[in-house]
C-alpha cells in the first residue's frame, strides 16, 4: 500500500544541522500521541542528544528531494552488560510524509546498521493501536512479544504497550 518505494529515499547518518528537522518531526509524533514521551523537544536539546550518541547507537535521517522527512535511531535498551547485544529502536516520519515508504526506508537501514555494529536483536515498545507502526514493524520481520496492559497513563487514560522484537 506504500505509495513510494524505499529506493526513492536516501537514508544517511544524522548531522548536527539536522537537529531542527529532527525536533520538529519528533514533536509531531509526541503531539500525535505515538509515544509515551510527552515532553516537546527543542533543536538545542536534539543537538546535544546527537552529540552524545556513540558508534553503536547512531541516528539516521531519511531525505526526499534533499529534505529531511524522518529520523530513526538505535538506542541503549538496558545499561546492564548482559543486554549489550540488544538495541531499542525509534522511527519517526514527518506527518506530511507518512504512509509513503519513508518509515520502511528508515527501518531497513536500522536493521542493516544493527547488524553492522554487531547487535543480536532489535526491540521496541509501541502502542498496539498504532496501526502504521505495527504494520511497519511486522512488514520488516518483527514479531509481537506481548502487551503490557495499562502500562502508561497518557492524558489521564491508561494505555497498553506492545513489545516487538526482531533477531538479526
Interface contacts to ligand COA, rule CB under 6 A: 1-2, 29, 32, 34-35, 91-93, 98-104, 124, 126, 130-133, 135-136, 139
Q: Measured from the CB atom, is 80 or 157 closer to ligand COA?
A: 157
Could you identify the residue written with the cell 533477531? 167
User: Measured between alpha carbons, how far is 47 from 88 in angstroms, rounded to an integer?
Assistant: 20
Give the CA angle between residues 149, 124, 36 to the nearest 5°.
55
Distance in Å, CB of 53 to ligand COA, minimum: 19
6 CB contacts (<8 Å, ≥6 apart)?
A: 101, 104, 105, 108
Q: Measured from the CB atom, is 113 or 124 closer to ligand COA?
A: 124
Q: Measured from the CB atom, is 51 or 152 closer to ligand COA?
A: 152
Q: Measured from the CB atom, is 130 or 151 closer to ligand COA?
A: 130
Could you identify the residue written with the cell 546527537? 50
Distance in Å, CB of 142 to ligand COA, minimum: 10
User: Measured between alpha carbons, how far is 160 from 116 in angstroms, rounded to an integer?
Assistant: 32
Q: Which residue is nearest to ligand COA (CB)?
A: 103
User: Minimal CA–CA distance to 165: which of 107, 133, 125, 106?
Assistant: 125
Distance in Å, CB of 125 to ligand COA, minimum: 7
Amino acid at each position: 500500500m506504500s505509495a513510494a518505494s524505499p529506493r526513492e529515499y536516501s537514508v544517511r547518518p544524522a548531522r548536527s544541522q539536522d537537529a531542527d528537522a529532527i525536533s520538529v518531526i519528533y514533536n509531531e509524533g509526541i503531539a500525535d500521541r505515538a509515544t509515551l514521551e510527552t515532553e516537546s523537544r527543542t533543536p538545542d536539546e536534539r543537538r546535544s542528544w546527537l552529540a552524545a550518541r556513540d558508534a553503536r547507537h547512531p541516528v539516521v535521517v531519511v531525505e526526499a528531494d534533499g529534505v529531511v522527512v524522518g529520523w530513526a535511531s538505535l538506542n541503549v535498551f538496558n545499561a546492564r552488560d548482559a543486554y549489550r547485544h540488544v538495541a531499542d529502536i525509534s522511527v519517526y516520519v514527518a506527518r506530511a510524509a507518512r504512509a509513503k515508504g519513508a518509515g520502511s526506508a528508515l527501518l531497513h537501514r536500522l536493521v542493516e546498521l544493527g547488524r553492522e555494529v554487531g547487535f543480536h536483536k532489535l526491540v521496541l515498545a509501541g502502542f498496539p493501536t498504532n496501526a502504521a507502526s505495527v504494520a511497519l514493524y511486522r512488514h520488516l520481520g518483527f514479531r509481537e512479544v506481548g502487551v503490557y496492559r495499562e502500562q502508561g497513563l497518557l492524558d489521564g487514560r491508561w494505555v497498553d504497550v506492545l513489545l516487538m522484537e526482531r533477531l538479526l
